[in-house]
Amino acid sequence: MMTVDFKINGKSVSISAEPDTPLLWVIREHLKLTGTKYGCGAGMCGACTVHINGRSARSCRAQLQDMAGKSVTTIEGLSAASDHPLQKAWIAEQTPQCGYCQSGQIMQAADLLQKNPHPTRDEIVRHMDGNICRCGTYPRIVRAIERAVKEG
């Protein structure tokens, strides 16, 4: 066991667990923030996407021992009132079908807009590649990102 201090959604936390505990399990089981989802456990699907020090990362592949002093943002921390432009655009475009992957999709899109506030459609598609939606709502995801760019 080891204790690691880091910030999550702007709040300081101290977590005691095995050093190789995936950040995903720390978020869901220790901190009870269940918006971040388990998908594949191999970093391939994007359902568990969070931001670590402002960059998107797969939380299933990040380990607790590597979080010391870092800042993590989950979907719950993206916007206190759930009114981030992407969240509003997701609703307006009726993007989710089952909704399971959507928190990871939004966090990946937020990473894009942080780096590039006015991406082209091709840049959106390229950046979102690797975030899998089994329901196939990709056209709605792209439209929602485009809407967030316009209305954001």
pLDDT tens-digit series, residues 78-132: 998 889 999 999 999 999 999 999 999 999 999 999 999 999 999 999 999 999 9
Domain boundary among 77, 106, 128: 77
Tally of domains in the chain: 2
d(CA 113, CA 119): 7
Kindly report, residue by residue over 14-38, the tens digit of the pLDDT.
Answer: 999 999 999 999 999 999 999 999 9
65 and 93 fall within a common domain: no
91 and 143 fall within a common domain: yes
Domain boundary among 18, 44, 77: 77
pTM of the model: 0.95
Q: Which domain holds residue 9?
A: 2-77
Listing DSSP states for the chain in one string gives -EEEEEEETTEEEEEEE-TT-BHHHIIIIIS--TTS--S-SSSSS-TTEEEETTEEEETTT-BGGG-TT-EEE-HHHH-TTS--HHHHHHHHTT--SS-TTHHHHHHHHHHHHHH-SS--HHHHHHHHTT---TT--HHHHHHHHHHHHHH-
In total, the chain counts a number of residues equal to: 152
Domain of residue 117, CATH code: 1.10.150.120
6 and 65 fall within a common domain: yes
43 and 73 fall within a common domain: yes
Domain boundary among 15, 46, 77: 77
Domain of residue 19, CATH code: 3.10.20.30
CA atoms within 13 A on the CB side of 135: 14
